[in-house]
Structure 1
C-alpha cells in the first residue's frame, strides 16, 4: 500500500495527496507535516518498512470538505485518491485512483465559495508580445476567451475577473508583469504548465473534441490565435484535474474588451464599485445599492454588469425599456420577485449534477426551483419590452425534468446516496417489491417474537438486531432455564444470552438480502436519474441565464422606484448634462433629505474641463465621484439618481482620487499618483471621462502646480486628447486658466463664513474659490487651539508672498498672445519669481555661520547644517 502511495505521489508532486484508507483520508511524510501544521491536527506515525516511522495524519472522509476547503483557501492543491472498490470484496490490495485534483480555481464546495460571485480560473499565454486570456468558472460552466496587446490591458482583465488561480506558459514569467506584486495584492496562486499544454495542435484537438466541431471557426476563434492556445490549455488543464467530461461547459465565448467600457484598477478601487476602499466590504459600494437580486445567478450577473458597462446605445436602451416597463407594472414585478425567492443556484446545481456529486437533497432543491419557472414565464408573457420578450422566449420551463424528479425522489430524502430511502414508491417495480419484502419482514419478525414467547413462556424474550450479529433472540439470565433445545447460542452478555433458530436465520436472509439489494438498486436508480438530468445541461443553463436576467432587471427596477431614480437619455455626442444629481451610495448612508444635489454639464466644446476649488470636506470628491457613477449606472442600463440626465457614452472612465502609498512595491504617494496620471494621459480618448482630484499635491508647491497646469493644458488640447474632465484642486492659481484655455471653466463648493468658522453648503456654483479654508477645517477636525492661532499668524506673514499674482501674469500673457502662439508653459517662465518663501537673506546665513560651534558638532550634524544652508542660498531670491 505504501509503495502504491509513493507511486501515486510521484504523479502529483505539486499536490497534497489525500489517500483513502477506510473511513479516513490519510497523508504521509511531507504532506502529513504540512497538513498537520496548516490545519492544526495531530501528527502521528506509521510503520511502513522504513528505519523510522513515517509521519502520518488523517481526516474523516465524511468531513473532508471542511479540511479540503481550508487547504485550498491557503493556496494548496489537493489530489484525492479514492477507493475504487468495496474493501470487503477486494482481493489483495484495494484498488485506488486519483479521482480529482482540487485547486483554488476548481473547488466546487458551496461552503468555500461566495454564491454571489464567480470563482474563476484564468489561463494566460504570452506569445509574440501579446497575451491570450481564457477564463473559466467550473462551478457554472462559463468559458470566455480574449486577447490583449499590452500589460496594462492584461492587468485590467485580471482585476475585472479577480481569478483565484492563474495558469500560464513559461514565457509569461518573462513578459515584464510583476507577478509577486499581483499575487500579494490579489491573493491568488499562479503556476506554469508544461509546454505540451500550449502545443497549438493539441489545443485545437482538445477544443474540437470537447465542443464536437470539425473546424474552430464554428467557435469564433479564427481571429484569436493566441486566445485559441489559452483556451485549449485551460480546457486540457481542467480535463486533467477534474477527471470528468466537463459536460456542463457547453460553449466558448470569444469577446473583445472594446465591446464594453474599460474600467481600470484605480477606477474600480476609487469609485468603490464592488467593495469599499478601506474595509473591503460590500456595504457602502455601488453594488450594495443596486443589488436587490433574489438569486445567486442574478447577483453574479449584476456584478458583471457593473464591471462591464455597455458602450452600444441600442443595447443600453433595450435594458432601460425593460426596467421602465417593470417600474410601471408594479404588481407583475412584485409577483416575479415572489417566484424568484425560492429558486436555488441552478448554474452551480447543474455543475454538481454534471460532476456526479449532487446528492438527493440537491435534486429536491433543483425540482423546487424548476416548479417556479412556469409561473415566471406566464408573468413575463404579459410584458412587451423587446428585451423582456427575448428573455421570455428563451425561458424553458423544464416541466418534464421537474415532473421526473417529483416521481422519482421522495420529498425529504437523506443526504447520502447509499443509505436508501431515496426513491418514491411507484417509480420502480423492483424497488417496490424489495421495499415490501423489507416491510413484510419486520411484520414476520414481530409475529415470530410473539410465537416464541408463547412457546417458551419467556415474557421478556425480544427479537433484536445489530450489524455484527444480525438478528437474534435475546433472553435475560433469569429465564435461561426455559430456553428450548433448538435455540443456538450466538453471544453471551453479562445479564443475558443471545440465540438464533433456523426460522430466524431464514427470515434474516430474506430481510437483509432485500435491504441490501434495495439500497444498491436505489443508488443505481438515483445515478441514472442524475445522468438523465445532466444530459439536459444546455437547456438548464439557458433557463438559468434567463432567470438571472429577470432577477437583474427586477432588482434595477426596485432600486429605481425605491430611491427616486430617473431614466437617463443616452447620446453619442459627448454631452453629459445632469440636473440635481446625487451620489447613489452617500445618499443611502445619510438620513432623508440631507444630501445636497448638484448639476453637472460637460461637453467636447466650451465645457470640456471643470476646475473645481473649495475647502477640504466640502464635497468636491463626492461630487466628482457621483458624476462618474451616474455615467456608469446609465451605461449598465440602470436608472440614475438625478432629476434629469442626458449621458454621452464614455468609452472609459478614469479616476485619480486620494493619496495612498504603495510601500510593498516601493512606491511613494507621489509615485503612485504620477503612475496613475501617466496611465490616464496615455490611454484616455476624447470619449473618456476623467476624474482628477488634487493632482500634484504630493510634491513641492512649484512642481505640483507646474504638473497640474501642464496636465490641464494637455487634456484640453483636442488634437492630443480633448477628454471631458472634472479637475479638483487647491491650487487656486489654476482658476486663471478660465478664459485663456478654451473649454476650461471654474466651479467651486459654496461655503458660508461665520466668524472664524465655516459652514459647508455642499453646492457647486460658478466661479473659483480664493482660499482653501484649511485652518478652519483643521479647527473643525479638533486641532488644538495654540496650533490654530499660530497657523493664523503664519498665514498672515506669508500672504504677501502669494504666487497667484504671477499666475495671473502667465494667464494674461496667454490671453494676449493666444492668436499668435500657444499659452506659455510654466517651464517657459522664470519660476524664481514665484517663490512662496521670499524671506531668506544673505545676512541671516552669515549670522548663522558665525554662531556655529563647530568643535562640538558631529560630522553628520555638520553635513546636515551645510546642506540646509546651501539650500537656503539657492532659494534666497
Structure 2
C-alpha cells in the first residue's frame, strides 16, 4: 500500500466517512479536491485538473477553487444533484502541532441548501422523508430554509407518490427497511435525488413512548401521530442534524395533516392542466400560478403555490378564504395600501431561518428591521377596513410588530452595513464604550499617518515620497531609487525593494503601526462578537418572526386573489357540500388572459350525478374541446383554493380528485409510447376515481386502430358511468360513440359548433347539445399549410371512404339468413373494409336469459338499413351479453 503524507492521510480518513459527497478540503485560501473527486469535479465544473505529490509513487489528481468564490461552484454541483461536504480548518495553523486539525462542518445536499444563491425566491425547496410499515405509508416534508415541517400518512404506494409529487421535492430520503427500496424506481422519471437511509431506532433516540412534542415545541393539525409518522419525522430530523451539524432552532413547529383533507392532483393532472408550469417549456408563464400571482412578497408567492398544490375540500374553510377575498375586493383602496406596504417586507421566513441557523448577515438584520417596521401600518389598515372578514380580523390580531427586536437592531447595527462582515463597520457608534475607544485610537493613528507624508516630504525634500499600506507589509514610506541619496542615514529601515523604488519604515511609524493594527484587529473582532450577540438574541425570538411571516404570507395571497378577481371580473362561486357542478358562461382563465385580438367565447357546464353525469363532446380539432374541458377543471381548482372564478356564476361541489387524460406525449426514457402513456393514465384514473371525483378524457383511444380505439373508449365510458359514477367530460372524434346516449341514461351528447359556408369553415368555440357529424380534419390540415395537392388527394380519398361507409349491408347476410348462420356452430363473418368482426352465437334452442335476449335483439334489428359501423356496434353490444368473440 502506498505511503501518503500525514495531510493526505487526514484527507483520506475524512473522505472515507463521506463517500457519497464531494469533499471540499480547506487548504489555506483554497478548497481542494483529490483523487476521483478531483477528476469528477474538474469535469462537472469545467476547471483545470492538476496533480500533487502526496507521498505515494504516482501523482495524486487534484483541483481546487478559491474560498471566496466557492459558493458558485457548490451551487453548480447541487443543481446537478450532487452532495458536497465542507471540510474546514478548526484549528489556528499558527498554534497547530503537526497537521492542522480539520472537520466536516456541514454537508450540503439538494434538499438542505440554506443560502439564497442556491434557492428560488418564489419556490419552496422541500426535503422529504418516506417510511412504510405494512400498508401504512408516512411522509415527512421540510423546507429547512423557511422552517416548515409537515407530516402525514396514507395507504398505498400510489397515494404516497401523489403526495410526494405535490411537494416538488429536490431530495427524498427513503428510510429503507431490510426488505429494500419501495419508492426509488417509482421516482426514477423525476429529477429527484433519492437517498437511502436506515430506519431510525426511535426508542434509542429518546424513549419508547416518544411523541412529536418531544421534537417540536408546537404541534398543530387534527391528525393523530402514529408510530409510522413518528418514524418518518425522526428520520428526517436525524438526517438534517447529521448533515447540518448544528442546532435547528427554527424547526419548532410541525403540522400533522390528513392528505384526504385536500384535493389530490396526480402527476398527469398537474402536467396536463399546467398548474404551476407549462408543458411545452416548463416555464411559469402561461400556467395558472403565473396568472394568479399578484403577490408582493416571496413568501406570499410560495404560499400561493402551496394553495394551488393543495386545494381545500371543506366547505367552511373555502368560504372563509372567499369571505376575506370579498372584503379586500370591496375595500380596494385599503387593498392597494396593503400591496404598497407589503413591498417593504422582505422574505421573513428565510430571514428567520438564516438567523436561527447562524448564517444571517448584518444586512439580513437590517432587512428584518425594515420588514417589521411595515407591520404596524398593515395592522392599522386591516383594523380600519369596513366589513372586514373574520379571517382578516384574526390575521390582524396575530400580527406582532416586535418593537423589542426592532429596537435591538436599530440601536446596534449600522443602517448600511458592508457586504463583508469580517472587515468591521457593523456596529453603531455609542453601542459599546470599549469599541468606541478602539475606533478613536484607530482614527487618531490614521490621522497621524496621514500627516506623516507631509512631514517626511518637508524633512527630506523628496516631493514624490509617499506613505502607503498593504495587508502583507503593513505601513511603509516609499521613495523612488533616484531620490535615495536624499534620505538621512540611520533613520530609515528598508522593508521592501521594488523595481523602481524602495520601501522603508521608521521607528515612529513602526510604533504607530502596531497601535493602529492592534486597535483595528481588536475593533473588528469585537464588532463581530457584538453582532453575533445581537443575532443570537434575535434567534431566541425566531418563533415570533415566523408567526409574522405566516400571517403576512396569507394576507399577501388573499390580496393577490382579490386583485386578479377585480381586474378580470371573476365571481365568487357558491360552494355546496354535495350535488351538481353548474357553471354559467365559464372561461379558461389563462387563455382568456393572453387573447389580444379576440374575445374568449364562454360556455356553460352542468354535471349532475343524478341526471347528467357525463358529457360526450364531439367536434373538430381547433374547435375548443380541450380548452373547454381544461377550463372546467381549472375553475373547480380555483374555487376550492378560495379564489373567485372566471364565469357569470358558478355552483361548485368540491371534488376530491381530478383525473385528466389530455394531450399526447411519449415517455422515451421509460420506454413507453404515446398510447402506452395514455393507457397508464387511464389505468390510474379507473383504479383511483370515485363518485366524488372529476374525470376529463380527451380523445381516448386514438393511438391505435379505429376499431380497437373505439372499443377501448366505449368500455372506459361505460365503466365510468356504471361502476364509478363520477362527473366526467369526454371528447372524441369517434362520432359513432354518440349512440351511447341511448343506452347510458346519465350521458348527454354535446359538440363544438361550426359554421360552414362554401369553402370556409369557422370554429365558433361554442358548446351546444347534440353530436357532431364531421371532424374537419382535412380543413385543419389545409390551414396548417399542407401542400394543395395533398389536400386535394385527401378530399378525393375521403369521398371514396365515405361512399364505402354508407353502403348498405348486403341482403344475403341480412334478416333470417344471419340468424340461420348464427344457429350453427360456425362463426358469423362481417367483412367491413378489411376489418373482420366475428361473433359466436350458440344454437338458439340452447339460449336462455341474457343470451336469448341478445339473439332476439339481433332478430329484430333492421339490418337491411344498417351501415357496417352500426352493425359493428350492435355486435359489440351482443358480445357483452354473450361473452364470446
Change beyond 3 A, Cα 1:702–1:219: closer
The farther-off stretch of 623-632 and 722-731 is 722-731
CA distance in 2, matches of 1:78, 1:103: 7
Match of 1:727 among 716, 730, 734: 730
CA distance in 2, matches of 1:380, 1:486: 74
Shift of 1:91: 4.0
Match of 1:322 among 324, 341, 346: 324
CA distance in 2, matches of 1:364, 1:561: 35
Q: Which blocks of at least 5 consecutive residues in structure 1 are unaligned? A: 807-829, 841-876
Q: Secondary structure at the match of 2:669?
A: helix
Shift of 1:272: 0.7
Matched with 1:470 is: 474
Matched with 2:875 is: none
CA distance in 2, matches of 1:804, 1:728: 27
Change beyond 3 A, Cα 1:205–1:292: farther
Match of 1:630 among 623, 629, 635: 635
TM-score (norm 2): 0.87
| 2:768 paired with 1:755 | no
Q: Secondary structure at the match of 2:11?
A: helix
Q: Secondary structure at the match of 1:131?
A: strand
Change beyond 3 A, Cα 1:351–1:627: same
RMSD: 2.7
CA distance in 1, matches of 2:402, 2:559: 22
| 2:85 paired with 1:79 | yes
TM-score (norm 1): 0.88
Matched with 2:832 is: 835
Shift of 1:735: 1.8
Contact 2:571–2:646 (CA under 8 A) maintained in structure 1: yes
Match of 2:113 among 92, 107, 119: 107
Matched with 1:444 is: 448
Describe how 1:705-744 pairs up with structure 2 within 5 A.
Answer: 705-717=710-722, 720-744=723-747
Contact 1:566–1:643 (CA under 8 A) maintained in structure 2: yes
Q: Secondary structure at the match of 2:241?
A: helix
CA distance in 1, matches of 2:807, 2:264: 38
CA distance in 2, matches of 1:526, 1:137: 27
| 2:142 paired with 1:139 | no
Match of 1:697 among 695, 702, 708: 702
Q: Secondary structure at the match of 2:750?
A: strand
Match of 2:748 among 730, 745, 748: 745
Shift of 1:460: 5.1
CA distance in 2, matches of 1:356, 1:664: 43
Contact 1:803–1:835 (CA under 8 A) maintained in structure 2: no
| 2:370 paired with 1:368 | yes
Change beyond 3 A, Cα 1:209–1:354: farther
Contact 1:798–1:837 (CA under 8 A) maintained in structure 2: no
Change beyond 3 A, Cα 1:508–1:210: farther
CA distance in 1, matches of 2:260, 2:220: 22
| 2:122 paired with 1:116 | yes
Change beyond 3 A, Cα 1:206–1:217: farther
The farther-off stretch of 23-32 and 90-99 is 90-99
Contact 2:752–2:765 (CA under 8 A) maintained in structure 1: yes
Q: Secondary structure at the match of 1:182?
A: coil
Matched with 2:333 is: 331
CA distance in 1, matches of 2:475, 2:714: 94
Describe how 1:602-681 pairs up with structure 2 within 5 A.
Answer: 602-681=607-686
Matched with 1:351 is: 353
Contact 1:733–1:804 (CA under 8 A) maintained in structure 2: no
Shift of 1:714: 2.2
Shift of 1:487: 4.2
Matched with 2:202 is: 200
CA distance in 1, matches of 2:636, 2:143: 30
Change beyond 3 A, Cα 1:424–1:37: same
CA distance in 2, matches of 1:61, 1:789: 70
* Cα displacement string for residues 600-623 of structure 1 (whole angstroms, at most 9, x for unaligned residues): 111111111111111111001111
Shift of 1:210: 9.0
Describe how 1:289-308 pairs up with structure 2 within 5 A.
Answer: 289-308=291-310
Contact 1:801–1:835 (CA under 8 A) maintained in structure 2: no
Q: Secondary structure at the match of 2:131?
A: strand
Change beyond 3 A, Cα 1:421–1:89: farther
Describe how 1:227-266 pairs up with structure 2 within 5 A.
Answer: 227-266=229-268
CA distance in 1, matches of 2:117, 2:220: 37
* Cα displacement string for residues 559-617 of structure 1 (whole angstroms, at most 9, x for unaligned residues): 11111111111112221111111000111121155211111111111111111111111
Shift of 1:155: 1.6
Contact 1:391–1:546 (CA under 8 A) maintained in structure 2: yes
| 2:577 paired with 1:595 | no
Contact 2:138–2:232 (CA under 8 A) maintained in structure 1: yes
